[in-house]
Amino acid sequence: MRSSRPIPGNPWPNDMVITVDDRPSALLEMLWIREAHDLHLDGADLPPLLVDTPAAASGRDVSATERAQWEQAWPRLWQAVAEHAGRDEDPRQFELLQQTANGSLEREKVLREMFGPSWRDEFGDAVFDDDSYQDWSQRGTDAHLSSMRQRMTQSPEHRNLDALIRAWRAGMTKIVTIPCEGEYSHKITSNASLMTDTTRNDSDSYERALDSFH
With a cut of 50, say whether residue 212 has pLDDT above it: yes
Question: Mean of the pLDDT values across residues 112-139?
Answer: 91
With a cut of 70, say whether residue 9 has pLDDT above it: no
With a cut of 50, say whether residue 2 has pLDDT above it: no
> In the beta sheet, which residues pair with residue 178?
196
pLDDT tens string 13-38:
989 999 999 999 999 999 999 999 99
In this prediction, residue 6 has a pLDDT band, given cuts at 50, 70 and 90, of very low
Q: How far apart are CA 105 and CA 90, in angstroms?
A: 20
What is the per-residue pLDDT for 207?
98
Q: Give the residue extent of every domain in the chain.
A: 19-40+49-211
In this prediction, residue 1 has a pLDDT band, given cuts at 50, 70 and 90, of low
In this prediction, residue 7 has a pLDDT band, given cuts at 50, 70 and 90, of very low
Q: How far apart are CA 29 and CA 108, in angstroms?
A: 22
Rounded to the nearest angstrom, the gap between the alpha carbon of residue 67 and the centroid of all alpha carbons in its chain is: 24
In this prediction, residue 60 has a pLDDT band, given cuts at 50, 70 and 90, of confident
Contact 35, 49 (CB under 8 A): yes
Q: How far apart are CA 24 and CA 85, in angstroms?
A: 7
Residue of higher predicted confidence among 131 and 62: 131
What is the per-residue pLDDT for 5?
47
pLDDT tens string 94-122:
666 666 777 776 766 666 777 789 999 99
In this prediction, residue 10 has a pLDDT band, given cuts at 50, 70 and 90, of confident
With a cut of 90, say whether residue 77 has pLDDT above it: yes
Is 0.85 topped by the overall pTM?
A: yes
What is the per-residue pLDDT for 67?
93
